[in-house]
Amino acid sequence: MSEDYSSHTEKHEKSWLDKLLHAFSDEPRSRDELLEIIKDAADNKLLDQDALSIIEGALDVSSLQAREIMVPRSQITAIRLDDSPQDFLPQVIESGHSRFPVIGETLDDIKGILLAKDLLPLALNGTENFNLESILRTANIVPESKRVNVLLREFRENRYHMALVMDEYGGISGLLTIEDILEEIVGEIEDETDEEENDNYIKRMSDSDFIIKALTPIEEFNEHFKAELSNEDFDTIGGILMQEFGHIPKRNEVAVIENFQFRVLYSDNRQIHLLRLTVL
């Protein structure tokens, strides 16, 4: 009986040895073959689905270029070097970003990167001796063809968190953050500002003063302020104000509708973004 047991044990060990040797002799010769092996491991419960997704994301990133995942030029929130804090602070607050390209005359004239945390001294010292240029960080500019996995390594080695992407003609075509790359690997990363982005259209400053987003739905505005603004022609407060102004307003332009005064805090050449509302 002991001989039978010994024989069975030897066969079992040989079986596993054969499998192990086969695994090393039949190495994957392509990315697809490697993925098949990893997926088989997941099917056999050697990996969970989260680990499988991360591995697949890491493999995908290795084949991507910066142009494929960058934030396009039209969506970049930039600050002009000659703007005063009164000009750009509403823009910083409304966007919720932590880093901003600082530019000269155009977006292609990059002066540096502004970190929102470097603006904290304004709360204590005011704006009297403020010099934006003195607190700028060096901008990291990369070509559109930059491999994303290489860029991630450079982010880690050089402690960068943002890179501006340049096209073949030397113009800025977009930007990338380390978060954009990580999201390609692990999926969408949401923080507190993402969670509240669609909900906090209206922020109360005092009994009669509010900061509101131009994208505030008219229905929500009416409910909040017990108002009766018409939503037949427009869906948002910004739409009503564009009609009221008759043009794209600049900062500090004012419009009064019913018993509400709207002062523009931030707008660009396409739309209104942020408003200060005073209940008259």
Q: Name residue 166's beta-bridge partners.
A: 143, 172
Q: Is residue 55 part of a domain?
A: no
Do residues 71 and 167 share a domain? yes
Question: Does the pLDDT at position 32 exceed 80?
Answer: no
Q: Look up the CATH number of the domain holding residue 222.
A: 3.30.465.10
Q: Mind listing the pLDDT tens digit for each residue in 188-243?
A: 665 554 544 445 789 887 888 898 999 999 999 999 999 999 988 899 999 999 99
Sign for the CA dihedral angle at 75, 76, 80, 85 comes to: positive
Same domain assignment for residues 211 and 269: yes
Which sign, positive or negative, has the C-alpha torsion 30, 34, 37, 42? negative
Percent of the chain exceeding pLDDT 70 equals 85
Task: Give me the mean pLDDT over the 78-87 stretch.
Answer: 90
Does residue 235 share a domain with residue 181? no
Q: How many domains in the chain?
A: 3
User: H-type helices in the chain, by residue range?
Assistant: 2-25, 31-43, 49-61, 66-69, 85-95, 121-125, 148-158, 178-186, 192-196, 218-225, 237-245
Tokens for 242?
């564009």
Whether residue 206 lies inside any domain: the answer is yes
Residues 209 and 188 in one domain: no
Same domain, 179 and 207: no
Which domain-ending residue is among 192, 208, 237? 192
Are 237 and 123 part of one and the same domain?
no
Pick the residue with more confidence: 29 or 102? 102
154 shares its domain with 188: yes
The rounded mean pLDDT for the chain is 83
Same domain? For 125 and 78 the reply is yes
Mean pLDDT of 20-27: 54
Domain containing residue 12: 2-47
Cα–Cα distance for residue pair 111/133, rounded to 1 Å: 8
Whether the Cβ atoms of residue 72 and residue 206 lie closer than 8 Å to each other: no
Complete edge-to-edge strand list for the sheet that includes strand 141-143: 71-72, 172-177, 162-166, 141-143
Which has the higher per-residue pLDDT, 90 or 66? 66
Residue 60 within any structural domain of the chain: no
Please give the Cα distance from 250 to 229 (Å, whole number). 23
